[in-house]
Homo-oligomer: A and B are copies of this chain.
């Protein structure tokens, strides 16, 4: 599963938001998500597993509890993709601008009727 796909799900995104403020036990996540989205404990647990396996979350047992935390590195992939592509289109837009500034647009496009 791709990083964007992981963050594509609203429940997972909300879980990430919760973990973003610091390590919290699965139970706390379940409670918030459960009430906000009206889904069951197993459902939340499954999404935590997805986040874990995708490298977005780390778990640490503390007695019977499981403390979940964000793993920032997982977001690098997303950042990289966005940066790379934004660069591309800002470049192509800039190129278009200079093209227009040079007044080439008329010739290429058919110009005035």
Binding site for B on A (CB under 8 A): 2, 4-5, 7-10, 13, 16-17, 19-22, 70, 72, 75, 78-79, 81-82, 85-86, 88-90, 92-93, 95-96
Contact = CB atoms under 8 A, between A and B. Distances in A.
Contact of A21 (B16, B72, B75, B89): B89
Contact of A92 (B8, B20, B90): B20
Given A7-B4, A8-B4, A82 B78 contact: yes
Interface residues of A: mostly helix, strand, loop or mixed?
helix
A19 B72 contact: no
Contacts of A93: 72
Question: By CB atoms of chain B within 10 A, which of A2, A5, A86, A89 has the most?
Answer: A89
B7 A88 contact: no
Given A8-B8, A72-B89, A75-B86, A96 B13 contact: no
12 contacts: A2-B13, A4-B4, A4-B8, A4-B13, A5-B9, A8-B8, A13-B81, A16-B85, A17-B85, A21-B88, A22-B92, A22-B95
